[in-house]
Structure 1
Amino acid sequence: MPQRPLLSSMFASPGYSPHARSSVSHPGLVYHNGCLVSGSLDALIHLLIPSADYYPDRAYIFTFLLTSRLFLEPQDVLAQLVHVCLQRQHKGMDVGTRTSSWRILQLLAEWTDTFPYDFLNEETMSRLKEVITQATVGRDDGLRRTGAQLLQRLLRRLATQQQYEETLGSQATAGKARGPLSPRPGACARDLFATCGDAGLVAQQLTFIELERLSQIGPEELVGAFSPKGSIDQHQQAHVGVKSAKNLEAYVEWFNHLIFLVATEVCLPLKKKQRAKVIEFFIEVARMCFSMGNFNSFMAIISGLSMIPVSRLKKTWTKVKTAKFDILENYMDPSSNFCNYRTALRGAAQRCRNGRSTHEKKFWELARQVGEFVSWKDVECPFPRDRRVISYLLSTQVLSEDALYFTSYENEGPDNHMDKDRWKMLRSRLLPRT
């Protein structure tokens, strides 16, 4: 069998030193000062597989399962696991013992809990069942029950994901950007403050939505986004991310929906006093989101208030107390690569960091960044769900960009010839012909 590629520096880290060296040896593994620095793919797969007296470091498990998909598909890793187990069994090694069987099930539990979307593929699910059968055949009832429970938990997770996708589809249809909600701005039945006029409650429900969507994103979906440009060929694209980053795309779509929701809420009222009230309300919501560490909603709200159809409403902004907005907007300053925002984000991340050290090795850095994301997405929301508020935020119809400009011009007329021409064009395109 030809030697597979050497993965130099794949797991090099001053904070990572697997305890496998004395228990698992392989000519393809290279250590430096007690730390694993490189290894062939075959050797790294062997290091992944537990035995009666060895279980791989959890950091190693996560890093390998995350980054190995750049080189081979998840079902191939499972096939190798079956192959090595059979080899050990044939040689009379400890794979047949109860302890090693428990540890194989433990590895599979970590895999299915962290990367459940790897098993949407029928071939991968079939391989998983094969490994569980190999680990539990001829074993006691406890092992067989554990294997069955592992499969049941995975199937429930995948069913929940399917239901989540169906819900996303209905919400996207309800809140999809359209033309004007009515021939004249403000004429539609819509009352933000009657539905959710408490800024604190809105900030809490935005945080609930963020965490719910974040929890559905598989860490494997980020591999393509974080991988160095050009490092993944077309074949690898087929299995990096498995779900084609569908949950990640939904998260981005939610961010854009919130931007347009904020701008729509500001532009629709007929009176500038009402518009100013909506602006101040969202400034307070943004401030509370920031204090909660909900930076995604914070950025979306500030972006919505900064859209040209909103920012050009000069008469409206004269009625707004902008001191708080100026402070919040400072965090969005793009100078020095968003230094102020990144500083605030690091401060929040520090509170939930798992203590893992940083370094410049690209594969470990990839796993470190995604691992930090996992720690964020696993945070439980401390606020109860308010269905009425969440329904409003997710499903309320928003204006398209052209409709926002049109509504903004209708409220406060254009300032120059270019805007006047655009206004006329939008009137002829968007207003219904009689």
Structure 2
Amino acid sequence: KQNLSVADVHIDRCSCFPQDSRMPQTTPFAAQFPQNPYGGGPTRYQPAEESYGGLRFHDNSLVSGSLEALIQHLVPTVDYSPDRSYIFTFLLSSRLFLHPYDLMTRVCYLCVEHHRVGDPQIDKKRIRDIAPKIVQLLTEWTETFPYDFRDERMMRSLKEMTHRLAFGDELSRRAMQRLIQRLLRKLTILGQYEESLVTSGSAVAAVTASSSTAAEKPSALKAKQHIRREECILNVCDDPFILAQQLTHIEMERLGYIGPEEFVQAFIQKRPADNHKGFFSKRRVSNLEAYVEWFNRLSYLVATEICLPVKKKHRARVLEFFIDVARECFNIGNFNSLMAIITGMNMSPVSRLKKTWGKVNTDKFEILEHQMDPSNNFYSYRTALRGATQRSATAHTTREKIVIPFFSLFIKDIYFLNEGCSSRLPNGHINFEKFWELARQVSEFLAWRQVICPFERDRKTLQYLISVSVFTDDELQLASYESEGPENNLERDTRRSLR
């Protein structure tokens, strides 16, 4: 596997700058973040080449550095404050190289202990001068990466830092106490959400045929279908616009609980140190995985609802209904539900219902399929996503701000960014250009997830979408053959094996 050449190109450019150059830190997307509230004027940057192996800049942008130098660049001093984009980028990417607790330990040492001179008055004044900047750094960490503090050691370090800051600055001590209170509230809410996923079974991959389901007797499959045919989405909600709104509620709620670190955590081999009590024991389920599982559930729900009705005209009505729902999802900017619906309608048990499809005007469906066409690396979808993102950036209403990406493709893009670019350069430096791009993509996701869903909640519809049972693959096939009989020997053999 070859790495992308862009990294090597920038290495050559960076070699033009002397090792001791004093170039200011700027970032490719710093404008996305507000100004440092503690900054009274221009920040004086002090790159750490001399003591920590050096940082490399190109066109005023940090492109590489040793791990130790990058850690030093994260730590505020009396004369220096790291900007928010650098804090986010390094906290996001550093976990590829060291555990968050190891980083926390190093940061605490550099913030306080490393610069002690032994004179109580001088040390107290220095802590008082730097304390607001330390509070700001830890605020960024706890607000953006709260899951890190499920590690008991992280929380202990945070409380120890509160005690140290109390030595020099009462205001900062109070700020740290408020910070910890907010963090605990957030962790409580996150824990309750994860518990609800476990309780409802939403995080379990149950939409595909499990070994136990596959072993069920055909009579059991038929019995399930008979019971299930008493329920239908149109009896709960027959307005495509309202259903699209309720799907958007579910999407935005689940997006909101995905931590940015989960995108990076997926690339990390589990380390022995991660077995420490408290780090993973309280993380019952990956919210990222649970969100992907929701996509699968919605696809199977759509296929189930279409295969449910006995009469052809009723199946055609449900099919047309979901086409309209998909169109409303597109208009809202909910591309994930749109793709899940299209996926459900393209599943074999649905796509083979030719007589049913013959009753439907497929023009709208073909337009939607074109928008999500995977050819040319999903060019049509990416164009639509850019349009939705631009609309969101200039929106005058909350509804116009909604952007819900096709999530599986979003994860795939991040995966290929990580796999396609080397994290370390030949000189041993960390390739920070790669991590600027990673942070740019993840920060865009964070902006999307912060939007509050403006639509009114329909509890009955939401409950149906989340909890109603869906068919497995075998049950879908059997329902499809009962609706429209097999047309060839392969289908006849398949049906015979299910009956």
Listed as ranges, the matches of 1:28-427 within 5 Å are 28-84=54-110, 85-90=112-117, 92=122, 96-140=126-170, 142-172=171-201, 176-177=206-207, 180=221, 182=223, 188-225=229-266, 235=271, 246-352=286-392, 361-427=433-499
Q: In 1, distance between residues paired with 2:28 and 2:291?
A: 34
Q: Report if aligned partners of 1:222, 1:245 keep a CA contact under 8 Å in 2.
A: no
Q: In 1, distance between residues paired with 2:160 and 2:64?
A: 30
Choose 389-398 or 337-346, whichever is displaced more: 337-346
Q: Report if aligned partners of 2:125, 2:168 keep a CA contact under 8 Å in 1.
A: no
Deviation per CA, 1:269-307, whole angstroms, max 9, x where unpaired?
110111111111111110000111100000000110111
State the 1:156 CA deviation: 1.0
Deviation per CA, 1:41-66, whole angstroms, max 9, x where unpaired?
22222221223443211110000100
Q: Report if aligned partners of 1:52, 1:97 keep a CA contact under 8 Å in 2.
A: no
**May I ask how many residue pairs the two structures share in their alignment?**
409
SS in structure 2 opposite 1:182?
Answer: helix
State the 1:384 CA deviation: 2.6
- Residue type of the alignment partner of 1:29: L
Aligned to 1:3: none
State the 1:408 CA deviation: 0.3
Q: Report if aligned partners of 1:20, 1:47 keep a CA contact under 8 Å in 2.
A: no
- Residue type of the alignment partner of 1:68: S
- Residue type of the alignment partner of 2:344: G
- Residue type of the alignment partner of 2:140: E
Q: Which runs of 5+ in 1 are unaligned?
A: 1-7, 428-434
Q: In 2, distance between residues paired with 1:236 and 1:349?
A: 41
Q: Report if aligned partners of 1:263, 1:309 keep a CA contact under 8 Å in 2.
A: yes
SS in structure 1 opposite 2:116?
Answer: helix
Q: Report if aligned partners of 2:229, 2:309 keep a CA contact under 8 Å in 1.
A: no
Q: Report if aligned partners of 2:44, 2:79 keep a CA contact under 8 Å in 1.
A: no
Q: In 1, distance between residues paired with 2:44 and 2:61?
A: 9
Q: In 1, distance between residues paired with 2:89 and 2:228?
A: 55
Q: In 1, distance between residues paired with 2:272 and 2:457?
A: 40
Q: In 1, distance between residues paired with 2:126 and 2:307?
A: 69
SS in structure 1 opposite 2:80?
Answer: coil
State the 1:90 CA deviation: 2.8
State the 1:327 CA deviation: 0.6
Q: In 1, distance between residues paired with 2:43 and 2:62?
A: 10
Q: Report if aligned partners of 2:116, 2:123 keep a CA contact under 8 Å in 1.
A: yes
CA, structure 1 residues 343+267, in 2 after alignment: closer, same or farther (shift >3 Å)?
same
State the 1:24 CA deviation: 5.6
Deviation per CA, 1:7-40, whole angstroms, max 9, x where unpaired?
x979996556997654565422233443323222
For normalisation by structure 1, the TM-score amounts to 0.86
CA, structure 1 residues 14+116, in 2 after alignment: closer, same or farther (shift >3 Å)?
closer
CA, structure 1 residues 412+346, in 2 after alignment: closer, same or farther (shift >3 Å)?
same
- Residue type of the alignment partner of 1:426: L
Q: Report if aligned partners of 2:75, 2:82 keep a CA contact under 8 Å in 1.
A: yes
Q: Report if aligned partners of 1:267, 1:408 keep a CA contact under 8 Å in 2.
A: yes
CA, structure 1 residues 109+377, in 2 after alignment: closer, same or farther (shift >3 Å)?
same
Q: In 1, distance between residues paired with 2:300 and 2:489?
A: 26
Q: In 1, distance between residues paired with 2:199 and 2:156?
A: 32
Q: Report if aligned partners of 2:194, 2:284 keep a CA contact under 8 Å in 1.
A: no
Aligned to 2:22: none
Q: Report if aligned partners of 1:71, 1:236 keep a CA contact under 8 Å in 2.
A: no
Choose 209-218 or 373-382, whichever is displaced more: 373-382
Deviation per CA, 1:149-169, whole angstroms, max 9, x where unpaired?
111111111111111111112
Q: In 1, distance between residues paired with 2:26 and 2:492?
A: 61
Q: In 1, distance between residues paired with 2:203 and 2:263?
A: 28
Q: Report if aligned partners of 2:146, 2:183 keep a CA contact under 8 Å in 1.
A: yes
Q: Report if aligned partners of 1:82, 1:134 keep a CA contact under 8 Å in 2.
A: no
Deviation per CA, 1:84-131, whole angstroms, max 9, x where unpaired?
121223375787343421221111111111000011111111112222
- Residue type of the alignment partner of 1:212: E
User: Percent same amino acid at aligned positions?
Assistant: 50
State the 1:203 CA deviation: 0.5
CA RMSD after TM alignment = 3.0
Choose 31-40 or 49-58, whichever is displaced more: 31-40
Q: In 1, distance between residues paired with 2:251 and 2:149?
A: 25
SS in structure 1 opposite 2:310?
Answer: coil
CA, structure 1 residues 328+94, in 2 after alignment: closer, same or farther (shift >3 Å)?
farther
State the 1:385 CA deviation: 2.2
For normalisation by structure 2, the TM-score amounts to 0.75
Aligned to 1:432: none
Q: In 2, distance between residues paired with 1:181 and 1:346?
A: 46
Q: Report if aligned partners of 2:194, 2:285 keep a CA contact under 8 Å in 1.
A: no
State the 1:247 CA deviation: 0.4
Q: Report if aligned partners of 2:237, 2:243 keep a CA contact under 8 Å in 1.
A: yes
SS in structure 1 opposite 2:201?
Answer: helix
Q: Which runs of 5+ in 2 are unaligned?
A: 1-9, 15-24, 37-41, 208-212, 214-219, 395-416, 422-432
